[in-house]
A and B are shown apart, each in its own frame.
Chain A
Amino acid sequence: MAKTTGLPLAEARRRSAPRGALNQVNALIYLVLIVVGIISVIPFIWMLLTSIKDYGDVMSLRFWPWPPLGNSTPRFDNFAEAIRLIGVDRDTGLPMFFRHVLNTLLVTGIVVASSVATSVLAAYAFAQLQFPAKDVLFILVLATFMIPEELVLVPRAVMMNKNYLNWYNTIPAMVAPFLADAFGIFLIRQFFLQVPRELYDAARIDGAGHLRYLAMIMVPLAKPAIVTLALLEFIWTWNEFRWIQLVTASSNMRTVSVGLVGFLQTDGGSQTQLAMAVAVMVVLPIIILYLFTQRYFTEGITTTGLKG
């Protein structure tokens, strides 16, 4: 009897309890995300505030030296001072910082365009086409993930040398290793796999070949994934330090990240506020780009399995 009367109650509890528990779990997840979000932003806030502080305020360890807590005024001259200290490119007469920015834009543009193009084409082949040893080839592509960057860094740099490709201190050397990206191939392939095969069949009936189907149907569908990849490639290339440092010789061939590290690495001491001013200028383009592509970025990571 107890069983018969107890069952509906237990059923009711089972139905309502998970909803409550789910809300609690969600609330906890949100709380953790908020905390992580705030922690992630703190260094940026510190960097931003330090970049407009007076040297004395930095030395006095004052977090907010301006009114109402202090009497200082924001020092925006730090940006001009930092650019002046980085020096001038003798070839062009440009401030070296702007030369670094131009180099970075060029390198980043080439890498983003190339890696997106090669990723889309290769991903389509792996997702849509049938050819011998497809799976083995895909595993080989994925296997490149497993090789630590440090292991291939020096051999790659040696290849750029005058005894081999003779690309040392040139744009081709700076971009060569990044023109195709296994991660990009994997990312886009994951998205392409979700597209129903029937779409392709319908396109074929309408007379579309592979290239047309890719360009007219798959690429527009995969826009969030492609934008995500482009943004990630942009960030990685913009921030690339070690490779550029290895394969360039003259200062006017370097990028902003290498220039920034050079500015930070001083003997004896440093002017933190100027270093942070350079850091802000280096990071700013990424932040702006992210603000414009945020929607695609969020969609991209939630539709390609990247969310885990």
Chain B
Amino acid sequence: MIRKVLPVVATLAVFAAACATPAPQQAPAPTEAPAPTTAPAQPTEAPAPTEAAPAQPTEAPAPTEAPAATGVDAITLSKDKPTEILFWHRYSGDAQKFVESFVEKFNAENEFGIKVTVEKIDGSYADLYSKINAAIEGGTPPNIAQAYQNQASFYRLDGNVIDLSPYIRSAKYGLTQAEIDDYFPFFLESDKNPQFPGEVLGWPTSRSAAVLYVNLDWLKELGANEPPKTLREFEELACKASDPANERYGLAWQNDISNFAALVFANGGRVLSEDAQSYVFNSEAGVESLALLRRLFENKCAVEIPSAERFGEQNRFAAQKVLFVMASSTGLPFYADAVAKSEKPFRWTYVMFPQKDPNKPVVDIYGASWSVFKGTPEQQLASWLFLKAFTEPENIAQWAVASGYMAVRKSAAPTAIEAVKNNPRYANFPEAAEAYARLYEMVAFGAVEAPVAGYDPVRKLMSEVVSKVAIKGEGDIKAALDEAVAQANEVLKENAPKGY
């Protein structure tokens, strides 16, 4: 009998392996992919939609100068001669629906005869990046595409992505100073790369922050009245909450490098030097960040969520298996649904990531921008006009509501905040709805990771170090970081513009 059954079992095993469903390509960044860049930004003006910001922000310099006549003004677009442009994105759900309906409306109503074709690229940001690179090689890139700042810099190396500043400054088609001032300066700054001085390589449409999701009821049981503000409090509470025997932990950790970068920022460090000449995540802040993570894992205060278990941290949070989750603020509606449907719903919120020095907070803010690719002068202008229309206050407010991102314009923020507050989804979670409002206060303390070409492989290097040194607890922290930074700087050098 066994001889009859076993060959079937064996072939079934071979077959099972062969016909496994296709996994999402490349380990995707769990919530958000590679993040932006520039230096831990100077505080910029926050809308302070709800309460006062933790510290007094100052107004950042406007990213571009007042509108002035440029060559762009000479281009004419007309309904008699429609200009066709192609837009690639990878949004899904409500965000996808909004983009598609906006494009339909724009095509029908714009006065320039612009016809936008929108195509959703199924897959991760890495898949979109591969597809764009293949299209560039074939000479047929889209006119507009979602791109992280480091990816836009890569496209820019060969001149495939254009600088938007002449369009922004255009007297005829650009933005007025008042309009420019309406954008959060940090968001506009985050699309600049010191390697391409003065250039704007993308237009911010989607931004979110690395935040800490907190189970407030559990926190209260632990005797804490409010979420941790310092990294020390955070570690103490995470360990106090942990009960490995019952599979309960203080922190759910996805080995997403944006989480590590957020820790480095919180410790007062940075990923890339301000002048983009070298990676610096091996600083004291980097060492302290890895040491903190190593202690959390060694003391069984944290549990790693495997990358294959996409959004597994949300399930565990909803099942009250973890007290804290480090994740993107865009997860807000998903956490609300998860907790609402869980066996025992509880009070929860998200807060600014705990800081080494809460008086000098730095928050990792990221999100893909929309970059414009080289085309005819008319297509480039049409692309800019589409971006400009999309980020009009009323549109960007609706977009923020549909996508869960922050509204990138100050005048749009109150509408988005109000919509979240009035959303029945958050009726039982007032603290969570308030968290979205407080998100805008964090913009003043925003920092970007590395806007330079080649940051994707560097993220992989960093991820390997975190996995080996912090999660598995192997080797010397400083030595591992130094080695990773040395390799990262090689990548930086290889991908730097000529003469930089």
Contacts and interface: CB of A to CB of B under 8 A. Distances in A.
A270 B134 contact: no
Contact of B311 (A240, A269, A297): A269
Given A254-B122, A267-B404, A270-B311, A40 B130 contact: no
B315 A40 contact: no
Interface residues on A, range: 35 or more
Interface stretch (A6-14, A110-118, A141-149, A244-252): A244-252
Interface in B306-358: 310-311, 314-316, 318-319, 321, 328, 330-335, 337-339, 341-343
B123 A258 contact: yes
Contact of A241 (B19, B22, B321): B22
B10 interface: yes
A153 B318 CA distance: 41
A294 B314 CA distance: 40
A298 B139 contact: no
A239 B90 CA distance: 20
A297 B15 contact: yes
Contacts of A164: 138
A246 B131 contact: yes
Interface stretch (A131-139, A180-188, A281-289): A281-289
A56 interface: yes
Given A56-B343, A267-B95, A43 B122 contact: no
B119 A249 contact: yes
Instruction: Select the residue from B11, B139, B318 with max chain A CB neighbours within 10 A.
Output: B11
Given A44-B16, A157-B138, A267 B341 contact: no
Given A30-B2, A59-B341, A268-B333, A161 B140 contact: yes
B32 interface: yes
B21 A260 contact: yes
Interface in A145-177: 153-155, 157-158, 160-164, 168
Contacts of B12: 37, 40-41
A259 B130 CA distance: 17
Q: Say what secondary structure dominates the interface of chain B.
A: helix
A164 B337 CA distance: 49
A34 B10 CA distance: 7
Nearest to A41: B16
Contact of A268 (B18, B31, B122): B31
Contact of B321 (A61, A154, A261, A294): A61
Nearest to B316: A61
Instruction: Select the residue from A47, A60, A263 with max chain B CB neighbours within 10 A.
Output: A60
Contacts of B140: 161-163, 168
Nearest to B328: A268
A108 to B, nearest CB: 13
A34 B5 CA distance: 10
A245 B95 contact: no
A259 B120 CA distance: 11
Nearest to B28: A265
B334 A268 contact: yes
Nearest to B29: A267
A54 B343 CA distance: 12
Given A33-B9, A267-B31, A43 B314 contact: no
Given A241-B25, A279-B21, A269 B7 contact: no
A270 B334 contact: yes
Given A30-B2, A267-B31, A239 B19 contact: yes
Contacts of B281: none
A282 to B, nearest CB: 6
B137 interface: yes
Given A154-B134, A287-B19, A56 B8 contact: no
Nearest to B33: A267
A155 B31 CA distance: 31
A61 B134 contact: no
A138 to B, nearest CB: 26
Nearest to A160: B138
A282 B319 contact: no
A290 B16 CA distance: 10
B11 A269 contact: no
Nearest to A56: B341
Contacts of B217: none
A272 interface: yes
Interface in A194-239: 232, 235, 239
A82 interface: no
A4 interface: no
Contacts of A282: 21
A128 to B, nearest CB: 30
B377 interface: no
A59 B342 contact: yes
Contacts of B316: 61
B138 A262 contact: no
Contacts of A245: 121-123, 127, 131
A261 B25 contact: yes
A261 B131 CA distance: 15
B21 A298 contact: no
B75 interface: no
19 contacts: A30-B6, A40-B12, A43-B20, A59-B338, A60-B343, A157-B137, A158-B138, A161-B135, A235-B19, A242-B130, A245-B131, A258-B122, A262-B122, A268-B330, A269-B31, A269-B314, A287-B19, A290-B19, A301-B14
Given A161-B135, A268-B333, 12 more contacts: A30-B2, A55-B341, A60-B343, A154-B130, A157-B138, A160-B138, A261-B122, A262-B92, A264-B24, A267-B92, A269-B337, A301-B11
The 9 closest A-B pairs by CB, nearest first: A269-B334, A262-B122, A161-B138, A56-B341, A40-B16, A268-B330, A37-B9, A59-B318, A158-B138
